[in-house]
Amino acid sequence: MADTEQITTGATMPPLATGRFGLSESAATRITAMLAGEVDDSFFRVAVNGGGCSGFQYEFSIDTKRQDDDLSFTSHGVEVVIDEMSLELVDNAELDYVQDLMGSYFAVQNPNATASCGCGTSFSV
């Protein structure tokens, strides 16, 4: 797993003892580039929603509004925000940014996934 430096919680959340989410250096570099043109209080959000061919799908977005159940992770100097329910499904996962012949994309190495679709955007637990 990538070097996870800090975990902080939203205003009403108690600290989460086991939850961790890491970034590879390539993911941190890409997120930094994505945030460069955004407003100062922007951050990268990771969420898990129902859907996709395997039951759950990852969602990545740039956001400016924090929720009470958000957890903040800093890895390689980049902040990632994940809501508590999504974290249960990606606990101890690592986000990577891949560039290959198929294109450029974020890929999640998720130890909780028992199956995933061929494109890697959907998974089941």
Evaluate if residue 84 carries a pLDDT over 90. Answer: yes
Instruction: Identify which has the larger pLDDT, 87 or 102.
Output: 87
AA letter at 80: V
Q: Tell me the three-class secondary structure of the chain, residue by residue.
A: CCCEEEEEECCCCCCCCCCCEEECHHHHHHHHHHHCCCCCCCEEEEEEEECCCCCEEEEEEEECCCCCCEEEEEECCEEEEEEHHHHHHHCCEEEEEEEECCEEEEEEECCCCCEECCCCCEEEC
Domain boundaries, the chain: 4-124
Model pTM above 0.85: no
CATH number of 4-124: 2.60.300.12
Residue 85's pLDDT band, with cuts at 50, 70 and 90, is: very high
| Angle, CA 87 vertex, CA 82 and CA 93 arms, to 5° | 100
What is the percentage of the chain residues whose pLDDT exceeds 70? 73
The pLDDT tens digits of the residues spanning 52-64 come to 666 788 899 999 9
* Residue 101: band (very low, low, confident or very high) from pLDDT cuts 50, 70, 90: confident
Enter the tokens of residue 98.
């891949």
Cβ contact 16:87 at 8 Å: yes
Residue 12 pLDDT grade (very low, low, confident, very high; cuts 50, 70, 90)? very low
pLDDT tier for residue 6 given thresholds of 50, 70 and 90 = very low
Q: How many CA atoms lie within 13 A of 115 on its CB side?
A: 6
